[in-house]
Amino acid sequence: MTEAQRKRALRRARIPWSEEVADPRDARGQRHGHHGLLALMALAFACGRTVLRRMEELSEDVGQKTRRALGLPKRVADTTLYRLLSQQSPAGLRETLQAMVKTWLEQKVVRNDLFPVGVMSVDGKSIWTSTRHVVDGARVSVGPDGTVASLSSLRAVLTSSSARPCVDLELMAAKQGESPAFRRMFPRLCEELGSSFLIVTADAGLTCRENARLVTAQGKHYLFGLKGNQQHLHSLAQRAFALCPGGLRARTEERRDGNTLVRELHTLSVYDAPAVDMEGAEQFWCVTQVTHPPQGEPTTEVRYFISSVPLGLLTPTQQLHLVRLHWGIENGHNWTMDVMLQEDDRQPCQATKDSIEVTTWLRLLGYNLLAVWRARAPRKDCLPLSWSRAMELLRDLLVAATPAELTPVLV
For residue range 184-195, list pLDDT tens digits in order: 999 999 999 999
* Residue burial 187-196, b: 16+ Cβ < 10 Å; e: rest: eebbebbbeb
User: Taking the CA of residue 371 as centre, how many other CA atoms within 13 Å lie in the half-sphere pointing to its CB?
Assistant: 32
- The percent of residues above 70 in pLDDT, for the chain, comes to 92
Nearest CA to 42 out of 358, 405, 355 is that of: 358
pLDDT of residue 274: 76
For residue range 48-76, list pLDDT tens digits in order: 999 999 999 999 888 666 676 677 888 89
Query: Mean pLDDT over residues 286-292, rounded?
Result: 95
Tell the burial category of 99 from Cβ atoms under 10 Å away from its Cβ (0-12, 13-18, 19+).
middle
pLDDT of residue 411: 33
Tell the burial category of 316 from Cβ atoms under 10 Å away from its Cβ (0-12, 13-18, 19+).
middle
CB 154 within 8 A of CB 170: yes
Q: Rounded to the nearest 5 degrees, what angle is found at the Cα of 308, between the Cα atoms of 368 and 321?
A: 50
Least confident range from 5-9, 158-162, 402-406: namely 402-406
Nearest CA to 24 out of 38, 41, 39, 14 is that of: 38
- The Cα 152–Cα 171 span in angstroms is 6
Determine if the pTM surpasses 0.85. Answer: yes
Domain ranges (residues) in the chain: 3-93+349-410
For residue range 318-330, list pLDDT tens digits in order: 999 999 999 889 9
Mean of pLDDT over the chain? 89
For residue range 100-132, list pLDDT tens digits in order: 999 999 989 899 999 999 999 999 999 999 888
Query: Mean pLDDT over residues 363-378, rounded?
Result: 92
Nearest CA to 183 out of 157, 203, 154 is that of: 154
The CB density around residue 103, as the number of other CB atoms within 10 Å, is: 14
**Where does 234-373 show beta strands of DSSP type E?**
248-256, 259-269, 283-292, 299-307
Query: Mean pLDDT over residues 149-160, rounded?
Result: 95
pLDDT of residue 407: 42
Model confidence at 383, in pLDDT bands (50, 70, 90)?
A: confident
For residue range 211-230, list pLDDT tens digits in order: 999 999 999 999 999 998 88
pLDDT of residue 10: 58
In the DSSP assignment, the letter for residue 383 is: B
- The Cα 245–Cα 274 span in angstroms is 20
Taking the CA atoms of residue 108, residue 109, residue 113 and residue 117 in that order, the dihedral angle to the nearest 10 degrees is -50
- The Cα 256–Cα 237 span in angstroms is 29
